[in-house]
């Protein structure tokens, strides 16, 4: 018997709506503005909206909220579609608010005819001033009393291009004294001569968010319109428009957006990082964008799992980056191909190995009994990690040092006899003897060692580059940090290192997921070529030895 997972508050509402017969089925929507790339916060919304539909047997539309042509671009539309698909979701309809411009214009005329909207000639500053403050009611102006006929004519002229940008706006006539600032005669339309990525130069007036979003929901018969907390005060206006227009009553519900430690989650800030060169692109693997995470090696499955675990609620939150890392490690541990790569090499010479070389076999994935093995060439000269040798080992050090023995993964047990240093005192070569009876899988030596090292045969090694990423920012909670968020950028968020990889890696598929033994999970970068293999570190392995050392 599986324990029933408790419902979040939105699922609760939907179950009740379905049980009461209010709806036969539900329709949700994911409504990004195409003015930037999607990030992990959007993934939360995508998983929520599509997940709800899946859970309750409904559908989800993808709708582009493209009512502000100066900020929007087709590049963003394309990337958004790609990201949603990659995350594993299929939308029922691909919609655009701009497809409803004619309908929206007619809605506005309807409001004018009901005496509920008027053309205002005031400047932005005047309007702002006349709105009052949260504690002081707004004041009207003469334009508020224009006749219905005059308003109709004026609005039609606005559409026809008779007026300059900013010369006039259309406003709803609601309540200038409302305690909700959004109800103090909100703007419905503004004049803006800008090229729209879909409607071109057909329009010079564009509806505001509040006069587009709810109406679009209604046109599509969205049952549950889910958005983030900052839209709570807009809900009164959302409902007002629907009621006055007498159109399909979609309902808005709000949840808390995602925040994460050590990163930012605002398109404006992310755009700044790109434009000012702090990262290379929107899909830079350090970015919290879907495309960046994809390039870094995150799997769609792990992101979905993450979104599932963080939950949906109304309280502000900041999620530990470690939860995201846990999710991706958990998935990658199951599917990643194990390979050996040495990043900071010293030479290990096996003095009694006189076979020249031999082919050994190593499991591709100990988690997967059907994962098979691969061939790994072994010889008397190997690369091992510099940190795997210590001249004067401490008590808890399980690796190589004078007189110490270790297992070479999938190979033999070796014992260190000697080592060499250069003039500067750096270890250059370690000498060891191997035990021929300790071959992996057929070990009859009876020797037990505590440490196992990864290694690469020197003459078979393939040079590769590893991009080792660290968190983008150096403070946990950017919202509590004083000053400019860019002051907290981690200057060491990317370290590109040269490394020696085992031969098999050169032949592996481009999109394979790897675990470089004892180093972390890696994924081939989009710029990687056969001539120059480049891997991005998705996430390190958990490292309890590093913790031990800090003590």
Q: Kindly list the catalytic residues.
A: 33, 257, 267
The verdict on 338 binding RNA (CB under 7 A) reads: yes
Cα(452)–Cα(409) distance, integer angstroms: 6
What's the rounded Cα separation, in Å, for the pair 279 and 263?
A: 13
120 forms bridges with which residues in the sheet? 169
Instruction: Note whether 139 binds RNA by CB under 7 A.
Output: no
CB atoms within 10 A of CB 495: 11
Site for RNA contains 23 (CB under 7 A) = no
> Per-residue string for binding with RNA, 351-390, x by CB under 7 A?
--------------xxx-----------------------
| Alpha carbons 414 and 403: distance in angstroms, whole number | 10
Size of the site for RNA (CB under 7 A): 90
Element (H, E) at 190: strand 187-191
3 state DSSP class of 517: coil
Q: Contacting RNA (CB under 7 A), which of 74, 156, 229, 496?
A: 229
**Piece of 86-94, 376-384, 419-427, 541-549 that binds RNA (CB under 7 A):** 541-549
Per CB under 7 A, the list member of 46, 104, 117, 127 interacting with RNA is: 127
CB of 355 to RNA, least distance (A): 17
Residue whose CB is less far from RNA, 45 or 284: 45
Binder to RNA among 88, 140, 161, 311 (CB under 7 A)?
311
Nearer to RNA, 233 or 436 (CB): 233
**Distance in Å, CB of 162 to RNA, minimum:** 15
Cα distances (Å, whole numbers) of residue 311 to 7, 48, 223, 257, 369? 10, 9, 21, 11, 34
Among positions 245-274, residues that touch RNA (CB under 7 A) are 256
Q: Return the residue of 22, 94, 123, 160 that touches RNA, per CB under 7 A.
A: 123
Restricting to residues 36-65, name those near RNA by CB under 7 A.
65
- Radius of gyration for the chain, computed over Cα atoms and rounded to the nearest angstrom: 31
133 DSSP β-pair partners? 136
| From candidates 333, 429, 433, 490, binder to RNA by CB under 7 A | 333
**Torsion sign (Cα): 469, 316, 33, 327:** positive
DSSP codes, 131-178: T-BTTB-----GGGG--HHHHHHHHHHHHHT-S-TTS-EEEE-S-TT-
C-alpha span between 238 and 210 (Å, rounded): 7
User: What's the min distance (Å) between Cβ of 546 and RNA?
Assistant: 7
Q: Least Å distance between CB 168 and RNA? A: 7
| Integer CA distances (angstroms), 357 to 131, 385, 489, 493, in order | 83, 21, 48, 40
CA atoms within 13 A on the CB side of 174: 25
**CB closer to RNA out of 147 and 317:** 317
Select 317 or 428, whichever has its Cβ closest to RNA.
317
Does position 213 bind RNA by CB under 7 A? yes
Cβ proximity to RNA, 284 vs 535, nearer residue:
535
Interaction with RNA in 508-537: which residues (CB under 7 A)?
515, 517-518
Tokens of 356: 């020249």
- Joined together, the tokens standing for residue 247 give 């159109």
Q: Which one of 358, 375, 487, 548 is in contact with RNA (CB under 7 A)?
A: 548
The site string for RNA over 161-200 (x = CB under 7 A, - otherwise) reads: ----xxx-x---------xxxx----x--xxx--------
Binders of RNA among 398-417, rule CB under 7 A? 398-399, 407, 409-410
How far apart are alpha carbons 146 and 142 in whole angstroms? Answer: 7
17, 33, 301, 357: residue in contact with RNA (rule CB under 7 A): 33
Q: Is 230 helix (H, G, I), strand (E, B) or coil?
A: helix
> 494-501 and 341-342 as β-strands: parallel, antiparallel, unpaired?
antiparallel
Q: Binding string, 312-331, against RNA, x = CB under 7 A?
A: xxxxxxxxx-xx--x--xx-
Rule CB under 7 A: which of 455-484 touch RNA?
none
Phi-psi region of 452 (alpha: psi -120 to 50; beta: other; left: phi over 0): beta
Q: Which is nearer to RNA, 170 or 284 (CB)?
A: 170
């Amino acid at each position: 018997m599986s324990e029933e997972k408790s419902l979040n508050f939105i699922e609760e509402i939907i179950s009740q709506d379905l049980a009461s017969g209010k709806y036969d089925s539900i329709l949700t929507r994911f409504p990004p503005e195409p003015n930037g790339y999607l990030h992990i916060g959007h993934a939360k919304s995508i998983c929520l909206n599509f997940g709800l539909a899946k859970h309750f047997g409904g559908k989800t539309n993808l709708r582009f909220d493209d009512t502000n042509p100066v900020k929007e671009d087709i590049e963003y539309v394309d990337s958004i579609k790609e990201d949603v698909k990659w995350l594993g979701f299929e939308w029922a309809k691909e919609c655009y608010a701009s497809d409803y411009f004619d309908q929206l214009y007619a809605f506005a005329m309807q409001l004018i005819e009901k005496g509920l909207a008027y053309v205002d000639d005031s400047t932005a500053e005047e309007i702002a001033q006349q709105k009052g403050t949260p504690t002081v009611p707004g004041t009207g102006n003469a334009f508020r009393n224009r006749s219905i006929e005059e308003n109709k004519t004026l609005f039609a002229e606005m559409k026809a291009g008779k007026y300059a940008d900013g010369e006039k706006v259309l406003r709803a006539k609601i309540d200038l004294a409302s305690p909700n600032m959004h109800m103090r005669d909100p703007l419905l339309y503004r004049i803006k001569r800008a090229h729209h990525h879909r409607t071109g130069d057909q329009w010079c007036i564009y509806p505001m968010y509040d006069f587009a979003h709810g109406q679009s929901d209604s046109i599509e018969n969205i049952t549950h319109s889910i958005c983030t907390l900052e839209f709570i005060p807009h809900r009164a206006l959302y409902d007002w428009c629907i009621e006055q227009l007498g159109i399909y009553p979609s309902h808005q519900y709000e949840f808390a957006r995602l925040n994460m430690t050590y990163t930012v989650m605002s398109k404006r800030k992310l755009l700044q990082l790109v434009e000012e060169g702090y990262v290379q692109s929107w899909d830079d693997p350090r970015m919290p964008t879907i495309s960046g995470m994809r390039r870094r090696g995150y799997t769609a499955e792990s992101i979905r799992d993450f979104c599932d675990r963080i939950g949906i609620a109304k309280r502000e939150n900041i999620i530990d980056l470690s939860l995201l890392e846990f999710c991706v490690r958990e998935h990658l541990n199951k599917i990643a191909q194990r390979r050996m790569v040495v990043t900071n090499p010293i030479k290990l010479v096996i003095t009694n190995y006189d076979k020249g070389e031999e082919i050994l076999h190593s499991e591709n994935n100990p988690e997967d009994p059907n994962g098979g093995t691969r061939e790994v060439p072994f010889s008397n000269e190997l690369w091992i990690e510099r940190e795997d040798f210590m001249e004067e080992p401490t008590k808890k050090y399980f690796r190589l040092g004078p007189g110490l023995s270790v297992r070479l993964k999938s190979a033999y047990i070796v014992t260190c006899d000697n080592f060499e240093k250069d003039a500067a005192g750096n270890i250059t070569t370690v000498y060891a003897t191997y035990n021929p009876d300790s071959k992996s899988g057929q070990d009859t030596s009876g020797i037990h060692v505590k440490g196992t090292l990864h290694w690469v045969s020197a003459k078979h090694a393939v040079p590769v580059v590893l991009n080792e990423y660290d968190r983008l920012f150096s403070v946990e909670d950017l919202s509590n940090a004083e000053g400019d968020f860019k002051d907290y950028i981690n200057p060491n968020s990317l370290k590109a290192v040269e490394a020696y990889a085992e031969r098999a890696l050169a032949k592996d598929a481009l999109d394979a997921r790897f675990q470089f033994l004892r180093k972390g999970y890696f994924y081939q970068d989009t710029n990687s070529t056969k001539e120059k293999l480049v891997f991005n570190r998705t996430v390190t392995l958990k490292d309890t030895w590093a913790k031990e050392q800090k003590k």
